[in-house]
Structure 1
């Protein structure tokens, strides 16, 4: 008897437990709230309740409206026909010609002119699936999304209703009045308008074309960050770098590590490991091993300094370099100074502050050195050395130095080779005289003007003009301590023979740093970019929830 009683108690407990877990008590049953007509036709639709006219259905916090519905109560499943409208939590709405909904799995399927709307966007497609468990809608038959001023199109994608995020795959296009974005892999946050691109992607607006394989773009503010194989094209200029930042509002771009700016109009290639471009001001600032390569048909000039700035419109560019400015011009001209200033319009290069120029075996120094290009032929035309002008050339057959100095110096180039040097005012010279390779004498003198003539960049004659005074000494009668003019300073160890020699050891360290950072970021850049703080912390203004619950509203 006691055993039977315990069994009854157990059965009652179990039945109570089962009763407590029914879908109805947990709100999981699909409920028919209203319809104009209700019917059951086992022949036409076995197992279904047929509801027709102004149909209203509820499942949890989701409301459904349509013209006709087949409700399979046993399976907790419904098919919906005509003017279907599904509203989820007052914030998500989906309309279509036809839909199905499974109350057990909480998955909806809609087809035929499907429109899904959220507080900030609407999605249109022929077929859409929506999983209420995850809050994810997905499609694979092309869709068009409208979000504020943005129109987005893709072949397939997902919408994360909880994160307000679209995940697009295959043939993605975003258009707005300012920009067109194309990619095959793009995540878009509808509240902030932030887009994350992965794989070959382009961003085009009125004045720029941007390419990247991993990047972020704010469609509202027109600014972005790119970290993989990225470049920007504008006005026949190309900017590329390992990491790039872009702000269209202020016409600004920044590059970090392995920066390269190619300017086909002005025949320049600029490289560094840090650069800022201010397009509206026609300005570029570069540091961390900057190098400007200015090329013509016959030769190329290179400019380097710790900091370089390029300003001015096309064909009127100004290049400024400071401090520790250096230049090298193929095949064998180089120079150094505290700073340099190049004016493209007039072809003038100024070396300022302790300048020195080497041309062939000649060393030129003074307080200020000007090198003037012919802007038509783009060949060297002339030079000026102002104040304390001094030219030195090693005696190629001996150990001495040919020297000449004056207040100012003027030189003339023919076919990019210096052919004549004039030293004026208080001119002095020491010149080694040879005959058949044998030193015959050393000429020392003063005058108001000295003219040096050169062939193959070597001094061949030295002529004193205007009140000349001088003596030619036998070599053995000319003491060593008298063979250098006052102010003599041979700086041959500063001569630059190749482009690589333009850089100090300190500047070369930037290459090592960039290489280490590239290696460190390689694996990171092979994955889609991490979500930026500005996306995670974006605060919506004036959130407008969807409060439609009645079909007629």
Structure 2
């Protein structure tokens, strides 16, 4: 029986250590008294001070329950813990057993190193060393103001975890979030729910996962990320932005849209500059531009797409560098580089440029095309301008050809109908007789030259040629002409480079 009692007593000691190891709250005051009606309570006034396990508490007056090891304090309350944590308020309840302090007041203030918290109700839990609030509070650091309805500050980790209606305000950025953490050492706010970031340069960022530095004002977004600046919408798996430099970056599944110009750019990496005087976006890693019209869509790809914006963030110029290629159902083209100016709808192509329009292949050292949203107006080629057409789909040796120092082609409803040739004009033209019941018959080949020419095209084929100055023409049977006479100098049929569908723009020449 004695052994059983001893065992029970040892278990009681082992599993209820707080009853024996709990330290009493120490106190002192200028004046104190105990009343018979409340023998366990000590009433204290004037320079009241409490100390409990390294934490000190000061107030004007207090009621201390020595038996229960807890007290209520009133007036000019000041809590100091480890010389770094300071809390001020009007009313305090502290319990020595749980080591929990509840502070009330018209303005409860907490300071810990470089942050200051203002609220009306605050809970300090010394184990696990946290400060929390359930009413609105403002938190200030050296750069920003954080405001939320509910949060817990983990002082050991220097991390504040916000639960509802979080706001961050700085000189250049306002942030509104649902769930967020903030590290007071790194000055990094991390978002875990729907978050809106608004910068002073009118940039709007939305994300559901990301971070923001109150020190540098940089932000990074990882989930459902998008950025809107005036008429430009940018989406990506990851978005980085700094409102101080107005420089940003989009990584993976980049989507950029100019709603006014109806232009969409996609790629795997984008760089953004929002400086008003020099705003631009450039995309790499499989970039693609789409200009959407009512009847058709233009697809443009190159190794790099560079877009300059106007002050309203509309697309102003587009530069396509290295292996540029575009597709539209009525016209296709390729060149080492291209430049498209939105204001006058001019597309400039350099570096072995080539165009295909219906049956025509157009080449020159430089090509400038006037292309509207709905139709093509004209195209200029210089120097060494060359137009080639397949004269016989059943043969790989018969081609209509036009050459000149300079040419200008004109379009009607996106069909090439006239080509003006200026300087050293030359032509090779296959003449056919149309038959209703049997294949067309080749009558001969017309070979001509002159200073200037006009080439008329009908039903996608050369219909007639007019030489304006110094004409020299002859027509002969195909068998009587040499290969040199049937092919003009510089002839090159490049049909294998032609994109046949939008995805062909990604195929290198």
Q: TM-score range by the shorter chain?
A: 0.7 to 0.9
Q: How does 1:151-230 map to 2 (within 5 A)?
A: 151-207=145-201, 208-230=203-225
Q: Provide the C-alpha distance between the structure 2 equivalents of 1:134 and 1:165, rounded to a whole number of angstroms.
A: 13
1:346 aligns with 2:318: no
Query: For the structure 1 residues 148 and 303, does the alpha-carbon distance in structure 2 shift closer, same or farther, using more than 3 Å as the test?
Result: same
Question: Alignment partner for residue 89 of structure 1, among 82, 85, 91?
Answer: 82
Q: Provide the C-alpha distance between the structure 1 equivalents of 2:214 and 2:418, rounded to a whole number of angstroms.
A: 61
Verify the 8 A CA contact 1:350 1:371 in the aligned structure 2. yes
Question: Alignment partner for residue 43 of structure 2, among 29, 33, 50?
Answer: 50
Matched residue, 1:282: 279
Q: Provide the C-alpha distance between the structure 1 equivalents of 2:40 and 2:199, rounded to a whole number of angstroms.
A: 57
Could you say what secondary structure the match of 1:354 adopts?
Answer: coil
Matched residue, 1:37: 32
Matched residue, 1:446: 449
Shift of 1:398: 4.5
Residues 221-250 of structure 1: CA distance to partner in whole angstroms, max 9, x if unpaired? 111111111111112111211112111111
Q: Provide the C-alpha distance between the structure 2 equivalents of 1:344 and 1:144, rounded to a whole number of angstroms.
A: 48
Moved more, 401-410 or 257-266: 257-266
Matched residue, 1:322: 321
Q: Provide the C-alpha distance between the structure 2 equivalents of 1:33 and 1:24, rounded to a whole number of angstroms.
A: 24
Could you say what secondary structure the match of 2:504 adopts?
Answer: helix
Verify the 8 A CA contact 1:417 1:456 in the aligned structure 2. no
Matched residue, 1:141: 135
Shift of 1:167: 1.0
Q: Provide the C-alpha distance between the structure 1 equivalents of 2:459 and 2:49, rounded to a whole number of angstroms.
A: 98
Verify the 8 A CA contact 1:166 1:187 in the aligned structure 2. yes
Q: How does 1:43-442 map to 2 (within 5 A)?
A: 44-45=37-38, 47-113=40-106, 114-207=108-201, 208-280=203-275, 281-311=278-308, 313=310, 317-328=316-327, 330-373=328-371, 379-396=375-392, 398-399=394-395, 400-436=398-434, 437-442=440-445
Gaps of 5+ in 2: 435-439
Verify the 8 A CA contact 1:294 1:301 in the aligned structure 2. yes
Shift of 1:482: 4.7
Q: Provide the C-alpha distance between the structure 1 equivalents of 2:58 and 2:18, rounded to a whole number of angstroms.
A: 22
Shift of 1:50: 2.4
Residues 78-128 of structure 1: CA distance to partner in whole angstroms, max 9, x if unpaired? 222333322212211222332221222211122233322222222233322
Report the count of equivalent residues.
486
Query: For the structure 1 residues 26 and 214, does the alpha-carbon distance in structure 2 shift closer, same or farther, using more than 3 Å as the test?
Result: same
Verify the 8 A CA contact 1:35 1:56 in the aligned structure 2. no
Q: Provide the C-alpha distance between the structure 2 equivalents of 1:343 and 1:433, rounded to a whole number of angstroms.
A: 40
- TM-score w.r.t. length of structure 2: 0.88
Could you say what secondary structure the match of 1:311 adopts?
Answer: strand
Could you say what secondary structure the match of 1:317 adopts?
Answer: strand
- TM-score w.r.t. length of structure 1: 0.81
Query: For the structure 1 residues 334 and 249, does the alpha-carbon distance in structure 2 shift closer, same or farther, using more than 3 Å as the test?
Result: same
Matched residue, 1:550: none
Query: For the structure 1 residues 120 and 367, does the alpha-carbon distance in structure 2 shift closer, same or farther, using more than 3 Å as the test?
Result: same
Verify the 8 A CA contact 1:454 1:461 in the aligned structure 2. yes
Q: Provide the C-alpha distance between the structure 2 equivalents of 1:235 and 1:186, rounded to a whole number of angstroms.
A: 27
Residues 173-204 of structure 1: CA distance to partner in whole angstroms, max 9, x if unpaired? 11223221111111112344321111110111
Could you say what secondary structure the match of 2:503 adopts?
Answer: helix
Could you say what secondary structure the match of 1:323 adopts?
Answer: strand
Hey, which of these two has a bigger chunk of strand by percent?
A: 2
Report the RMSD for the aligned CA atoms in angstroms.
2.9
Matched residue, 2:437: none
Question: Alignment partner for residue 504 of structure 1, among 492, 497, 507?
Answer: 507
Gaps of 5+ in 1: 1-6, 507-553
Query: For the structure 1 residues 505 and 166, does the alpha-carbon distance in structure 2 shift closer, same or farther, using more than 3 Å as the test?
Result: farther
Q: Report 1 or 2 for greater relative contact order, CA contacts < 8 Å, sequence distance ≥ 6.
A: 1
